[in-house]
């Protein structure tokens, strides 16, 4: 149909039609490319996702456009790395209505933070007005392992309250760590696991 329409148009109208079509397709694909998560440079390990090159000078143009749109400031390669968990250990999306336990250890880092985010990309807002823990605050066992409960109702130990509903994302930021450039050499079990304990 498009071909038949283009043949019936005068040359000037055909040129304008082609230009408009190219503009719509170009802007549409550009918007589609930058509206979601970073399309390139993804590294996945032990249930966590990272984009090690996000803070580098040679970051790809799609990531640059997404950063410009969202206003996010990524950690530089020498500063650390951010790891994202959007699903539990069995691959199910994190749901605020469920209870989870993040447990284990982290790779060597001078400092780390674990923060919960909502579907809008902002830290979760709850009655406790707390969306995360730092490595200086979290309680550990004698071997250095920690457990952080994610639940709507109070839990023993380290506890982060979740909103009443909606999807969740957990972001673990490691500062001044040797794994900032590459996650490939991490040993199994060197990142915490996210286990679902129950849903209403």
pLDDT digits (tens, 9 = 90+) for 65-78: 767 777 777 777 77
**pLDDT given at position 47:** 87
Its pTM stands at 0.78
Strand partners, 43: 50
pLDDT tens readout for residues 81-135: 889 999 999 999 999 999 999 999 998 899 999 999 998 888 999 998 999 999 9
Cβ neighbours of 190 (radius 10 Å): 16
Q: β-strands 158-161, 146-151: how paired?
A: parallel
For the domain made up of 43-198, the CATH class stated in words is mainly beta
**pLDDT given at position 120:** 85
pLDDT tens readout for residues 143-163: 889 999 999 999 999 999 999
* CA–CA dist 48, 114 (Å, integer): 13
The domain limits of the chain are 2-34, 43-198
**pLDDT given at position 19:** 77
Distance from first CA to last CA of the chain, Å, rounded?
53
What lies within 8 Å, CB to CB, of 19 at 6+ separation is none
């Amino acid at each position: 149909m498009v071909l038949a329409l283009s043949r019936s148009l005068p040359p000037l109208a055909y040129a304008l039609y082609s230009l408009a079509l190219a503009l719509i397709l170009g802007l549409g694909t550009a918007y589609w490319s930058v509206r979601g998560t970073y399309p390139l440079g993804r590294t996945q390990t032990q249930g966590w996702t990272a984009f090690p090159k996000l803070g580098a000078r040679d970051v790809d143009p799609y990531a640059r456009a997404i950063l410009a749109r969202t206003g996010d400031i990524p950690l530089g390669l020498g500063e650390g790395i951010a790891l994202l968990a959007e699903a539990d250990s069995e691959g199910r999306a994190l749901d605020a209505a469920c209870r989870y336990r993040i447990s284990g250890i982290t790779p060597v880092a001078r400092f780390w933070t674990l923060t919960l985010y909502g579907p809008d990309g902002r830290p979760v807002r709850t009655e406790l007005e707390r969306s995360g823990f730092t490595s200086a605050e979290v309680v550990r066992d004698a071997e250095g392992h920690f457990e952080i409960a994610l639940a709507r109702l109070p839990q023993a130990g380290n506890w982060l309250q979740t909103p009443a509903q909606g999807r969740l994302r957990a972001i673990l930021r490691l500062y001044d760590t040797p794994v900032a450039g590459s996650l490939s050499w991490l040993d199994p079990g060197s990142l915490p696991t996210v286990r679902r304990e129950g849903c209403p």
